[in-house]
Amino acid sequence: MANLTLYYGTMETGKTTKLIQDHYNYSKYLIKLILMKPKVDTKGNNRVITRTKENIEVDILIPKSANLLSKKYFNKYKYAQFILIDEAQFLNKKQINELWYIAHKYDISVICYALKSNFKGELFEGSAQLFARSDEKHELTVNCSCGKPAMFNARRVNGKYIASGKEVVIDGENAEVEYIPLCSDCYLNFVLKNKIK
Ligand SMILES: [Zn+2]
C-alpha cells in the first residue's frame, strides 16, 4: 500500500537533488510519475531546479487555493504510481490532507520534499501538517559554517541577518535576499543577537 513520505531539512540539504535523483531512479523502472510544486515557488518557473542548476519540468503547478481532489487535478495524476512534490512547505494544511487521502484512498505513493521552518524558526503551515500526517519522515542535514548541524534558515538581506519580515521571499527572485543554514548557537548569536524571541 502507498504512503505519504516526507524528506525535510534546512536550505542546502539537497532536497531538490534528492527529488531529481528519485525521479531518475523511478523513471528508469518505468514507474509512472507526476511531478508537482506550489505555484508560489517562482524559482525556475515551471521547473524544479537545484543549486547546481540541474532541473526537470513540473507536470502540475499547484495554485494557492487549489483542491487537489478536484477533477482538474485528479485526471492528471489518476494513473500515476508516484507523485513527487518539491517545496511542499508552501502547501496549506488542507492540501496536505488531500495528499494523505490520495496516498491512502487511491494507493498512489506521495513523496514531499520540504523545508522544515521559516527564517523565524517557526514551522511552515505545510511542514507542520506534513509532520502530523506523513507515514514516513526522513531528515536531510547539512552543517553550519561552525561545524554543528544546521537547524535554522537565516535570512540575509544585503549581507545582514534579519529577524522580521514576511514569511515567503523566494531567494533569487530578489537579488539581495539569501538564506543561510545556521545551527542554534549561531542563530542565537548572529540573528537574535543573544535575545529571546
Ligand atoms: Zn553554527
**Which is the catalytic residue, given 57, 87, 139, 178?**
87
Of 89, 75, 104, 106, give the one whose Cα is nearest residue 38.
89
Cα gap 22→54, rounded to integer Å: 13
Q: How many whole angstroms from 89 Cα to the centroid of ligand 1?
A: 24
pLDDT for 170: 84
Q: How many whole angstroms from 188 Cα to the centroid of ligand 1?
A: 9
69: confidence class by pLDDT, cuts 50, 70, 90: very high
* Mean pLDDT to the nearest integer, 105-109: 98
Whether 18 and 44 share a structural domain: yes
Contact between 83 and 108 under an 8 Å Cβ cutoff? The reply is yes
Based on the structure, what is the number of domains in the chain? 2
- Domain range for 172: 152-191
Cα gap 167→124, rounded to integer Å: 9
3-state secondary structure of 105: helix
pLDDT for 86: 97
Q: How many whole angstroms from 186 Cα to the centroid of ligand 1?
A: 4
Pairing relationship of beta strands 55-57 and 47-49 according to DSSP bridges:
antiparallel
User: Helix, strand, coil proportions of the chain in percent (round to 5)?
Assistant: 25, 30, 45
Whether 37 and 117 share a structural domain: yes
Whether 34 and 113 share a structural domain: yes
Q: How many whole angstroms from 12 Cα to the centroid of ligand 1?
A: 15
pLDDT for 91: 98
- Does 173 score more than 80 pLDDT? no
175: confidence class by pLDDT, cuts 50, 70, 90: confident
| Annotation marks residue 87 as catalytic | yes
The answer as to whether 144 is a domain residue is no
Whether 90 and 157 share a structural domain: no
- Rounded mean pLDDT of the chain? 95
